[in-house]
Amino acid sequence: MAPLFELQNVRYQTILSYPNLHIEDKQTTFIIGKSGCGKSTLLKFLNRTLSPTSGVLLYKGQDIQKLEPIALRQEVLLVSQAVYLFDKTIEENFEEYYHYRDLSIPSKETIQYFLALCGADFPLDTLCTSMSGGERQRIYLAIFLSFMPRVLLLDEPTSALDSQSSQLVLNNLKSFCKEKSISLIIVSHDQSLTHCFADKTIILER
């Protein structure tokens, strides 16, 4: 069976050149490397937010450039490094994201379930404006996880969390994704997380 993703001679402009690599389905893959080596750019290639300048990128054996971008982005969901939340309550933030995607709003119980998975089980009427960076990061993650993509791309998902919270979130996330057959691809600087949770690690060099 074809791997989930396969890169062949992928380059971006004159600045980035990637090794030929593949990422397997239903695994937790970590992407690591020094700042500026192209980790975030690679995640953007994987859901076609950005396209390589040359080379071939295959998704389940098909040239990603030939796939419909909106459908692809629903299936391969990118959670960016920058957290974007509306100046509203937690529940209203879920509602905004679901409205935007034209999806029916999940029940309070479902919202609470995903918040708890991400270590963010705060009352639903809490205003996101009054929360810490780490709390906001977990809520943002819970919203995206609740969309139940086939592939979840996380760019530094625990950068604002202490090590204990990072471990808890990653532990829950990995178990959940395994149970639901969601492939997890994570960019992280945190070596202890990579050590604990990676099924496979890809090291990029500039």
Ligand X SMILES: Nc1ncnc2c1ncn2[C@@H]1O[C@H](COP(=O)(O)OP(=O)(O)OP(=O)(O)O)[C@@H](O)[C@H]1O
Interaction site with ligand X (CB under 6 A): 13, 15-16, 33, 35-41
Q: How far is the CB of 96 from ligand X (least distance, A)?
A: 27
Please tell me the distance from the alpha carbon of residue 19 to that of residue 160, in angstroms, as a whole number: 30
The answer to whether 71 and 146 have CB atoms below 8 angstroms apart is no
Residue placing its CB nearer to ligand X in the complex, 15 or 127: 15
Q: How far is the CB of 37 from ligand X (least distance, A)?
A: 4
Please tell me the distance from the alpha carbon of residue 30 to that of residue 14, in angstroms, as a whole number: 25
Residue placing its CB nearer to ligand X in the complex, 37 or 72: 37
Residue placing its CB nearer to ligand X in the complex, 3 or 33: 33
Count of CA atoms in the C-beta half-sphere (13 A) of 88:
12
Residue placing its CB nearer to ligand X in the complex, 54 or 110: 54
| Whole-Å CA distances, 197 to 141, 167, 170, 173 | 17, 9, 7, 10
